[in-house]
Every structure is written in C-alpha cells, then in structure tokens.
Structure 1
Amino acid sequence: MQERVKIVFGAPEDFGFSDAIKNELTIQGYHVIDLSRINNNFKYPNISTRINNLFHKTFLNDKKYKSKVRSKVITANLIEELEKHQNINYALFIRPDLFPLDFFKSVKSKFSKIVGYHWDGMNRYPDVMDYIPYFNDFFVFDPLDLKSNINIVGCTNFYLSRIVSRLNSVGNTGAFSINSYQKDKIKPLTEIKRTLESISIPLNFIIYSKNKREIKEANELGFETSSFMTTYQENLNHVLSSSLLIDVQIQSQSGLSFRIFESIGYDKKLITTNKDVANYEFYDPNNILIWNNQSAQECLAFYRSPYRPLPKEVKEKYALDNWIKFVLKLGNFYPITLPKTV
C-alpha cells in the first residue's frame, strides 16, 4: 500500500476555512498536519512575561513587545509540533504572513518544497513581501500583484468538490450573498438587492459584523445580519440551496473571490461586480452577469435563462484536487494561470 503524501498545512481559521480545506485534502487521501490552530493559540508562558508586557506597554510605550513574545512562543510551539512527525516533504501555507516570520526562517530546510499562497491583495498586507524568500514557490491570486515581485507566480482560488457530496441542500432557488461588513461593498450590495427584490427573486443576503453601528446600518437597509461567524461548510449549504450567487469585490483588488469558483464548481449562476472575470476562460455571459446597474428586466432574463454547463476539464482544473497538485507539482495536473494585466 502506497504511503499517503504528508502535507504540513496552515491557513486562517476564520469561518472554519482551514478546517474545510484540511477535510477536503484528507478525503483526497493526503495526510494533513494542520498548524492553523497552534498559530492562533497564544498564551503567555508565565505571569512574569505578562507583567513585562504591561510594563513595556505602559511605561516604555513599547506596543510591539507582545507581538515579539507571541512570535517567539508560537514559533517554538509550531516547531515542537513539527518534530512529532517524520518524513515530511511538502508544506503549504495560505496567508503565511499570519504566522511568525521566524518560524519560516527556521523550518525552510525541513521540506523539499514549501509553498505560500496569498489569497488577498498584497497592497492590503504588504508585510507578506518579507516572507517570499523563505518559500520555494509563492503564489498570488491577484493579477495586479504580479508586477510587484519577480519571484511570485499567479494562481486562482479554487472550490471544494469532495466535502460537497457529503452535504445536504434543500431546494435550488433564490439568490445568496454573505459578506463581512465592508463600507465599499454596502452600496453595490444594496443596489443588487433592491433590483432582485423588484422582480421577486427570493433573497438570502447576510451581513456579518460584531459592530453594533454596522449591524444597525445593515438592518436598516433590509439585510439579514449575524454577529456569529458562519462556518464554511454552513456557507456551502447556503450556496448549494441557491440558484444565483452574488459576489461583490473589494475595490482595492482584482483577483477572483471564492464565490466565483463556487459558481463554477456547483453550476450556479453568478452576479459579480468584478469586471476582470471576463478575462478568464470560464467566463460565459449566459452564466455570469457583470454588474453594471442593469435593469430589473435584464436581471430577470439572466436569472430565467438556463445555466450553460462548462467543459469537464475546466471544472476539474479549478477544483482543489487539481489546485493542490499544481502548487506542489504532484503528478499530472492542469496548469493554472492568471490573465496578463496591461
């Protein structure tokens, strides 16, 4: 029996995303060593360190002392966990800048291949640039970032195919949108919402925030709100039970969100504000409406027209099954690229 490929893995835990990816990779047959929770589980090693932090912050105005302590403690904890495992060849870190830089300085030599993937705009988190030298390959999802460093490679996001088959969905109607509260998203979300309401399309529009003012504003605009994070698997249940997905991009980036790849993977129609989607091979105006304040009748015609299935190889290309093989260069895979920017 062939030994399973071991992958050290780390990613943001927000919305249960790291758990969902780990579960998907495990179903695919990989042995996943997940460091995500360890990275987010910081405790002061002793009371004296806590007191020292208070002293540095209060009397020395040293507000970076805690981050230095955290980096040292978390790095030690991560290395301790790694030492429990033998014969690890591959490592994948999504948003590696959320991990201590010292950790990567210490462990790069432990792997035959260590890969980083930044699924956010580098202009939003520029510190990630310091991490690039410690990876064999470093991928970004935003074509605009390809101009920032010659040592990075373009690669899209992906969708999960294996865990979806184990989820239960009810119905297949209406439009679904879920977003953390972000000021630049509220206006286009409201415009889309009001247009779809005018043609009686069932809506499930959710805004997440823990800020009372933001919750109040969203409620006044007619959005359903939540102060509790929905897990990614719960999010997928919403996606699967909808026929139309809504994607509103952050204005500072042009990379394609996970919502777009969910529409590909699960055969869902999509309304998106991201005009750059037209530069990708899977763009089909019959399936994807690029929002430009279309009339209610134009939206209704789009909604009612049947979904046009994508070629099998296109769907396979953007599934995590292929994505992980591409970034780690494992076996046969479809190469994934980003469109060139002007």
Structure 2
Amino acid sequence: MKILLITPEFFGYECAIKQALIKSECEVDWYPHIDAPNNLYKVFYRFFSFIMKAHYYRYLLSRISYDSDYDKIVVIKGEGVGQKLLMKLKSLFPKAELIFYNWDSFKNNSLLPAEFHLYDKVKSFDGDDCKENNKVEHLALFYSNEFKLDKAVNVDFVFYFAGTLHSNRYKDVKDVVSLVEGTGKSYIYFYCQSRPIFYLKKLFGKLPKELSITEVGFDKKSKEELRVLLLKSNCVIDFSHYLQVGLTMRTIEALGMKKKIVTNNSSVINYDFYNENNIYVLGESSFTLDEFLLKPYIDLPDAIYKKYDIDNWVVRLIN
C-alpha cells in the first residue's frame, strides 16, 4: 500500500507515524502540513490561512511525484491543505482514499464544509466532534514506542507536568501540587515560546501576577528527556484545553508508561482504560487525592495497552 502522508512537524510524532506505517508494510511519502521556513510563516498560516493555502498548494505540487500511484492520502490537522489542493490531489490520484484526522478539536481547527465533503473519511480525537457530526469517527491518540514501559525504575517525583503555559494552567497545576504538599518533590515545567511573549502576556493580564519568570522555561524539552522524567514520576498532571474534550497525548503516554493520572477531563471516565485506582478526575473522584496516591496502580489487560500503541493506531487511522 502506498500512502501520501501530510502532518504537522511536532516533537517527532510525524516520524513515529511514518515509521509505524512502514512497519505495517506501507510505502510512505511524507510532507509537512505547512511550508514554514520561519516563525513568521507559522503565524501567517495560523491567522491568514485563506491566503497561505495558495502558498502551500504551490509548495506541495512542486514536490510530490506525479507518477506515484497512491492508495491513500492521509492528512493530519492540515493547516495548509485547502479545497483547491484536495480537488487537485483527487484528480492526480483518482483511486486514492482521502482520510482526514484531527488531533485538535474542530473548535480549534475546523474544516470548511467544502473541504469536509471532499474527504472519504474524517476522524477526530475529540468525542464531542463525533457527537456533533455522525460522519466523524472517533480515534483517540496514541503512545509511541519510547513510551512503552520496559522496566520499572525508582520514582523520584510525586507529580509530573510539562506543558505550554496558557489559560489557567499555572494556577491549576499549582493547586493540585499544593493538595499533597510535603509528600515529596515534583517535576513541573511550564513552557513559554520566548521571554518577550512572557512579558507581553504578563502586561496584558494573560498570566497570573504572582508567576515569576524563574518558574518558566523557554527551551523545548526533547521527547527523550521528557520520557525519562515521566518514567521517574508517580503521577501525571493533565489539564486539557477548555475547547476540547479529547484526551491529550500526555494522558495516552502516561497509559503506555503505566503511570497514574490526575486530570480535569471528565470524559476519560468513558474510555476503556479508565480505572479509579489509576485515574483521578478532579471534582468527580470518590476519594481524596492523598488516598488516590496511596492506592496501587492496577494493571490493565494487554489488549488495552496494545490498542493505543502506535503500531495498532496507524492501522485504525488508515482503515
């Protein structure tokens, strides 16, 4: 099977998806979903997509092989992919099935109706997207091979959190940690894109007044560094974006590493891997956070861990 794969470049997940497809005996040609040689281009794609889709149209058509006989064209997020490009791809590769996957919610990353109807299949990680449109298939995220638990290690941290600084995350994470203060140290990393952005957000009241720049990092951690820190932690803190109910990559990676989770996302209760010993839903769990941390982690059936493994996930993505 030959696949044209178009995805964001995001912490190497695009490479993991490509390699998993190759492992499943697919031939894969990969391209980024935007052509952004610098951050200014990324801003244009985000806020002026109606202009930049023409830019991406020229970019992709100047690079793909017109002789390729693709069986499937898979687009993930696809900020630069518009109606004109989809129609061109359908004419160039008429036998190819077009599949769209949204690892954001449609509230954050929407498809125009004309684009939506050009896809043969549309899938989303967000359950609400599927409730609102029965043509959207639900497909939760995955954990890649490095987030499979291979051996137990000594736990150094009570809680683990690493994420971008936005909305109420600082206060929310600090509140969780303070609930069990004194039980041990935690690894907490708030990422901000740059110091100027940090100061602008502070100036316009987008961040708490008490937040110090010394509590913020401006370097993106490598996936390997985050994996080691997660492995050495007892429990992952997860706060989902207020515009989505889909489970974050952080949550699924915690599943793969067999780590406990504290989350504000009550939709996790509806997933097959939910166990109250392993997942604490803020405001919903029947016991205190202290009690939760003392409970042993309950191993799940192997079939559940395999279901969210990237090797199985890509099969569900393309079928």
Q: Classify 1:176/1:113 alpha carbon distance in 2 versus 1 (closer, same or farther; 3 Å).
A: same
- Report the residue type matching 2:14 in the other structure: S
For 1:215 and 1:104, locate their aligned partners in 2 and report how far apart those are by CA, in whole Å: 41
Q: Deviations over 1:93-146 (max 9, x none)?
A: 111234344222211341532211111121223345442122111001222112
Q: Which runs of 5+ in 1 are unaligned?
A: 43-62, 330-342
1:20/1:233 contact within 8 Å kept = no
Instruction: Tell me by how many angstroms 1:314 deviates.
Output: 0.9
Aligned residue pairs: how many? Answer: 301
User: Kindly tell me: are residues 83 and 170 of structure 1, through their superposed partners in 2, closer, same or farther at Cα, counting changes over 3 Å?
Assistant: same
For residue 226 of structure 1, what is the aligned residue in structure 2? 217
Q: Mark the structure with the bigger radius of gyration.
A: 1
- What TM-score comes out, normalization by structure 2 length? 0.80
Listed as ranges, the matches of 1:36-51 within 5 Å are 36=32, 39-41=35-37
Local SS of the residue matching 1:286: coil
Deviation at 1:149, TM superposition (A): 3.0
| Counterpart Cα distance in 2 of 1:238 and 1:30 | 33
How many angstroms apart in 1 are the aligned matches of 2:170 and 2:100? 31
Identity within the alignment, %: 22
Equivalent residue, structure 2, for 1:212: 198
* Residue pair 1:273, 1:290 contacting (<8 A) in 2 also: yes
> Which residue of structure 1 lines up, in the alignment, with residue 234 of structure 2?
243
Check conservation: 2:87, 2:118, Cα contact below 8 A.
yes
Q: Which residue of 1 aligns with 2:119?
A: 135
Q: For 2:58 and 2:150, how far apart are their aligned partners in 1? A: 38
- For the structure 1 residues 121 and 138, does the alpha-carbon distance in structure 2 shift closer, same or farther, using more than 3 Å as the test? same
Distance 1:138 1:231, change over 3 A: farther
Aligned position for 1:185: 169
**How far did residue 41 of structure 1 move?**
4.0
Measured at CA, do residues 236 and 218 of structure 1 come closer, stay the same or move farther in structure 2, by a change above 3 Å?
A: farther
- CA distance in 2 between partners of 1:282 and 1:165 (Å): 15
2:63 partner SS: helix
Whole-angstrom CA distance in 2 between matches of 1:258 and 1:287: 17
Question: Residue 24 and residue 327 in structure 1: after superposition, are their counterparts in 2 closer, same or farther (change >3 A)?
Answer: closer
Question: Aligned partners of 1:177 and 1:67: how far apart in 2?
Answer: 36
Q: Does 1:277 align with 2:280?
A: no
Q: Following the alignment from structure 2 to structure 1, what is the Cα–Cα distance between the partners of residues 244 and 33?
A: 28
CA RMSD of aligned residues (A): 3.4
Residue 245 of structure 1: how far off its partner (Å): 0.9
Q: In 2, distance between residues paired with 1:294 and 1:280?
A: 15
Q: Matches of 1:25 and 1:305 in 2, distance apart?
A: 38
- Higher mean displacement: 13-22 or 166-175: 166-175
Partner of residue 97 from structure 1, selected from 79, 86, 89: 79
The superposition leaves residues 13-36 of structure 1 with CA deviations (integer Å, 9 ceiling, x where unpaired) of 233432343344445554332101
Taking the TM superposition and a 5 Å limit, the aligned residue runs for 1:322-337 are 322-329=312-319
- Provide the rounded CA distance (Å) in 1 between the counterparts of 2:15 and 2:221: 13
Please tell me the residue identity of whatever aligns with 1:182.
Answer: H
Structure with greater helix share of residues: 1
